[in-house]
Chain A
């Protein structure tokens, strides 16, 4: 390989590996990080042997971690941190310290070296932010208690990574292990080393406060976008180099630089410019980690690896279950909470690399632990599926304990509201204000608690259960409001009601047009599309802002509403046929526009005519003040 095109060949391999592996991994539901790891394993010395010296790439790819920490610092908002200080610093530190302690203790008990135990503890205590956030988003659990707590713990781990990465090299010094060149220098004169470190940090902070923003302003003023990108990279590289020169963690420097710029006007731009670099370099980092897994070790000790994986997941799960109980996290959300935090994470790789670099752990140990973390991440989707299948139903039954009250006594209110979220609550508030009583059913314990707080008889449970509906009084209810946000559940409740509680009139929320049609097919009369009226009110505002008179805008909006509902009815029989559907919709729209055009024209004409006198064909005198009197 000619030296000049070495990078060409390397880029081909790395980019090719990433582009193939990551989409495959996502398709299999495994997440992109697993994809990068797999790519690394595939192209490394244990796979296709396309790359035989992973170490060089690893040092380069570490820059991805540095960039990531710069962005973490950038996105840190001191106010938000302060607001969430209890969950983040409180529970976050509990999780990290407890897990580290437990795992380290287990390692020590197994007869391992103290430093190894500590590094292993720290590395394995970390969880995967990427997988955690991904699953939460997918299950729409971000706003729940569990989701917020997972986020807080992840955030704490992000922040804690800085001191951890900073401390590890110093540990090497303290332990007298064979450290880096800088570390041995510092061993000669530890005070000098410490003083240099302090000076550099001080320089970054003060220099940053004074110089960074003016410098960026000057660069931004040059109006060349790529130079701003270059400047941002330069910033991170320079800080990292500075910190590296005194033996401190590069990531810490980048983090500091990020925090310094977090409140600046360039934050967004910096984020946008650096995000792609971070993404790719981080991917490269994971590929390099995958490449550096020494499979000889893994294959030699498969039992050990399996034991480590099972062991640390269990230990972390213990800590997390205890935490979930105390926080508390609603019972139904606990499995997801525990699973997402019990696995190992990408920061674990980072810590292991730092440990390896500081010679705190051997390459063998590092490989084993990397494999363990990677395997735990691979297992996460599997564990989640098992939880859903076996644990969750049991918890749902258990959850009907004193904490959330399921219906114990039959209820008799004339109205039942299934689903007490944003939609159901508004319905509830209106009818409550009019003196009506309603029984509320919701499957979110917090909504139930909130409703009870305001004096509603609200009950926890799944409204698609017949026995629950019966207990709620559906057999005598006059109206059943179905305001749940899950379409399948909504249709299930409607079917149950039609079958068993035919005396009750149904008032149902439709999430979209397809849902509306499904409800129409079931003969439900009072269906409202959840966004129609709000959107029309916005449209009305737009008309007003564009110069329509307020009352005219209101009338237009309401007539449009009538029209669109009629059109919906017309389109109902043609749902299966997309072309017919489109033609009916287009025709309907055309008709409305035509109608309004005609009305506009005729009103213009009548205005003009009335201007010229009332009725030219009669001899009767025009009524007094004709133009204003009989204006139709």
Chain B
């Protein structure tokens, strides 16, 4: 049973620096533990096999979205995946219990450097301001939101920083669900026994971690 499902989407994976290397690092991990799905390679015609995707999700306790941040959100195929796979009656709504108790982890990279995500930066908002749609998507389906792993300034990041970031991802994936050293206690992901919170209510740990997202800043500027 695969514990971790990594869903990655990059419209031009061949030209990607960060996402591609992260994907390759995840793919190196044991296949029975980590299953990687490259959406643009699987579905070049945007015809998503919903049944297959749902089957993969069923087996996993951790869903990882590995993506570049496009216009403060997801690349289009990932959004389509979200729209079609998280179906009414399956992921949410009456009888929609399939994702309850699982965990959602965003691993994203941005073009803008960390300091651009500030009220005086050109992105005008802290990066956290763009997270509610992700968080709420998790919440609505009963998933637990984990602190995202972000890399800002992806185009200028130097190799050492990038390498460190890649190793951080590989390490966390390998240790899952043992993330106690990061101060995160994942919920027991057994959908037969739903977590104590009511559906639709964000679990306690998620709200604590929302403001403490782990970021890897670009080296030239001080950490924000």
Q: Are A615 and B198 in contact (CB under 8 A)?
A: no
A63 to B76, CA, bound (A): 74
Interface residues of B in 112-136 (CB under 8 A from A): 136
A614 to B198, CA, bound (A): 15
A618, A623, A630, most chain B CB atoms within 10 A: A630
Q: Are B140 and A619 in contact (CB under 8 A)?
A: no
Contacts A559-B47, A602-B89, A623-B140; A632 near B83 (Cβ below 8 A): yes
- B201 on the A face (CB < 8 A): yes
Q: Which of B47, B88, B198 contacts A618 (CB 8 A)?
A: B198
Q: Are B47 and A606 in contact (CB under 8 A)?
A: no
- B residues less than 8 Å from A559 (CB atoms): 47
Least CB distance from B96 to A in Å reads: 8
Can you list, as one digit per residue, whether each of A604-632 has a CB less than 8 Å from chain B (1) or not (0)?
Answer: 00100110001111111001000000111
Can you list, as one digit per residue, whether each of A499-516 has a CB less than 8 Å from chain B (1) or not (0)?
Answer: 000000000000000000
Q: Are A620 and B89 in contact (CB under 8 A)?
A: no
- A51 on the B face (CB < 8 A): no
Least CB distance from A551 to B in Å reads: 10
A32 to B45, CA, bound (A): 54
Contacts A602-B89, A632-B83; A619 near B198 (Cβ below 8 A): yes
- A residues less than 8 Å from B91 (CB atoms): 632
Q: Which of B47, B92, B201 contacts A630 (CB 8 A)?
A: B92
A558 to B45, CA, bound (A): 8
Q: Which of A558, A619, A623, A632 contacts B47 (CB 8 A)?
A: A558
- B210 on the A face (CB < 8 A): no
Least CB distance from B220 to A in Å reads: 38
- B residues less than 8 Å from A562 (CB atoms): 47
Q: Are A610 and B88 in contact (CB under 8 A)?
A: yes
Q: How many chain B residues have a CB neighbour from A under 8 Å?
A: 18
- B167 on the A face (CB < 8 A): no
Q: Are B94 and A617 in contact (CB under 8 A)?
A: yes
Least CB distance from A625 to B in Å reads: 13
- B87 on the A face (CB < 8 A): yes
A555 to B46, CA, bound (A): 9
A619 to B92, CA, bound (A): 14
A620 to B93, CA, bound (A): 12
- B199 on the A face (CB < 8 A): yes
A-B pairs with beta carbons under 8 A, tally: 42
Least CB distance from B93 to A in Å reads: 6
- B200 on the A face (CB < 8 A): yes
A555 to B43, CA, bound (A): 13
A558 to B94, CA, bound (A): 30
Q: Are B93 and A615 in contact (CB under 8 A)?
A: yes
Least CB distance from B200 to A in Å reads: 3
Question: Who on chain A is nearest to B85 by CB?
Answer: A632
- A residues less than 8 Å from B84 (CB atoms): 632
Q: Are B199 and A620 in contact (CB under 8 A)?
A: yes
Q: Which of B93, B198, B200 contacts A606 (CB 8 A)?
A: B93
Chain B contact residues, majority secondary structure? loop
Q: How many chain A residues have a CB neighbour from B under 8 Å?
A: 19
Contacts A632-B84, A632-B86, A632-B87; A609 near B201 (Cβ below 8 A): no
Q: Are A620 and B201 in contact (CB under 8 A)?
A: yes
Least CB distance from B91 to A in Å reads: 8
A630 to B47, CA, bound (A): 20
Least CB distance from A234 to B in Å reads: 63
Question: Who on chain B is nearest to A609 by CB?
Answer: B94
A617 to B140, CA, bound (A): 14
- B residues less than 8 Å from A619 (CB atoms): 198
Q: Which of A606, A616, A620 contacts B88 (CB 8 A)?
A: A606
A602 to B136, CA, bound (A): 25
A559 to B47, CA, bound (A): 7
Q: Which of B47, B87, B198 contacts A620 (CB 8 A)?
A: B198
Can you list, as one digit per residue, whether each of B71-113 has a CB less than 8 Å from chain A (1) or not (0)?
Answer: 0000000000001101111011110000000000000000000
- B residues less than 8 Å from A602 (CB atoms): 89
Question: Who on chain A is nearest to B137 by CB?
Answer: A630
Q: Are B93 and A609 in contact (CB under 8 A)?
A: yes
Q: Are B89 and A606 in contact (CB under 8 A)?
A: yes
A562 to B51, CA, bound (A): 14
Can you list, as one digit per residue, whether each of A546-562 has a CB less than 8 Å from chain B (1) or not (0)?
Answer: 00000000010011001
Q: Are A614 and B93 in contact (CB under 8 A)?
A: yes
Contacts A610-B88, A620-B199; A555 near B47 (Cβ below 8 A): yes
Q: Are B94 and A620 in contact (CB under 8 A)?
A: no
B93, B94, B200, most chain A CB atoms within 10 A: B93
Least CB distance from A88 to B in Å reads: 50
B83, B136, B140, most chain A CB atoms within 10 A: B140
Question: Who on chain A is nearest to B45 by CB?
Answer: A558
A632 to B76, CA, bound (A): 15
Interface residues of A in 483-535 (CB under 8 A from B): none
- B residues less than 8 Å from A615 (CB atoms): 92-94, 199-200
Can you list, as one digit per residue, whether each of A575-615 has a CB less than 8 Å from chain B (1) or not (0)?
Answer: 00000000000000000000000000010001001100011
Can you list 18 pairs linking A and B with CB atoms under 8 Å apart? A558-B45, A562-B47, A602-B89, A606-B88, A606-B93, A609-B94, A614-B93, A615-B93, A615-B94, A615-B199, A616-B94, A617-B94, A620-B201, A623-B136, A630-B88, A630-B140, A631-B83, A632-B86
Instruction: List 14 other contacts, CB 8 Å, given A606-B88, A632-B83.
Output: A558-B45, A559-B47, A606-B93, A610-B88, A614-B93, A615-B93, A616-B94, A617-B94, A618-B198, A618-B200, A619-B198, A630-B88, A631-B88, A632-B87
Closest 5 CB pairs of A and B: A620-B200, A632-B88, A632-B87, A606-B88, A558-B47
